Amino acid sequence: MSRTSRNFVLAYIFLVGLPLIGLAGVLRSGRHLAAPVSVDGTWKVEAVSSGKTSTCAAVSTFLSAPVVISQSGRNLVVTFGNGRSAVPGALEDNSVKTSIPVDGDSGTQCGQAILTSVVDPKSSPRVMSGQLAFLGCPSCAPFAFHAVRQPKTQGGGGH
C-alpha cells in the first residue's frame, strides 16, 4: 500500500469511521431523553356542565370553533375562533397556560381570560381538562371545559 493510500485510509477511519461510532452513541443515549408532552394539533372543546352559565362573550367564542395549538417545545401558539385570535402560551409540566384578551358583554369590563388546563399524557386520543378564569370581571364565572385532540389528517408526529 502506497503512503498516499495509507494516509487516505487513516484519514477515512479518523474522519468518517470514528464520527459514525459517535453517532451511534448519541442515538443510543438520546433515547432516554424526555421531551415535553405533545399538545400540538386541533382540540375539540366542550363545556363541563356545572350548573352555572357564563355570560361572557369569550366563552361562546371559545366554544364556537376547535382550538388549534401549534407547539415548539414548551412554547405554544394557541388559536381560537377559527383563527380570529392567536395568542402565545406555555407548557409547564403537563399544564397548558395562556392568556386571551376578551371583550366582555355590554356592561362588563373583562380585560382578559386566563386558560389553564392539564393534559393527560397517557390518554389516547389525548385529552385535557381545565378552566377559563376571567380577570377584572366579577359577573363572569370561571368556565370549566374538557378537550379532546382530533386525529391528524396526515401521517407523522406532532406540529
Partner 1 sequence: MPNLFTLTLQLAVVLAICRVVGELFRRIHQPKVVGEMFAGIMLGPSLLGWIAPHASAYLFPTSSLGFLNALSQVGVVVFMFLVGLNINPGELKKESHAAVLTSHVSITAPFVLAAFLALYLYPRLSDDSVAFTSFALFMGSAMSITAFPVLARILAERDMLGSRLGTVAIACAAVDDVTGWCILAYIVVLIRSAHSATSIWWTVAGILVFGLAMIHGVRRLLRGFARVYEKKGALSENLMALMLLLVLASSLLTEYLGIHLLFGAFLMGAIMPKDHHFVRYVLDRFETITVTLLLPLFFAFTGLRTNIGLVKGPQMWMYCALIIFVATAGKLGGSTLASWLSGMPLREAAGLGTLMNTRGLMELVILNIGLDIGVISPALFSMMVIMALFTTFMTTPVLRLIYGKEMDEIAASKIIAKPAAAALNQSYVA
Give the binding site for partner 1 (CB under 8 A): 4-5, 7-8, 11-12, 15-16, 19-20, 22-23, 26-27, 29-31, 33-40, 70-75, 77, 83, 88, 121, 152, 154-159
Shortest CB 42 distance to partner 1, Å: 13
Cβ proximity to partner 1: between 63 and 119 the closer is 119
List the grid coordinates of 143: 368556565
CA 23 to chain centre: 30
CA-wise closest residue to 60 among 19, 125, 110, 104? 104
CB of residue 34 to partner 1, shortest distance in Å: 6
Q: Toward partner 1, which CB reaches closer, 19 or 136? A: 19
Q: Nearer to partner 1 by C-beta: 138 or 151?
A: 151
Q: How far apart are CA 132 and CA 40, in angstroms?
A: 19
Q: Which is nearer to partner 1, 70 or 116 (CB)?
A: 70
d(CA 70, CA 57): 24
CA 127 – CA 67 distance, rounded (Å): 13
Neighbours of 49 (CB within 10 A): 8
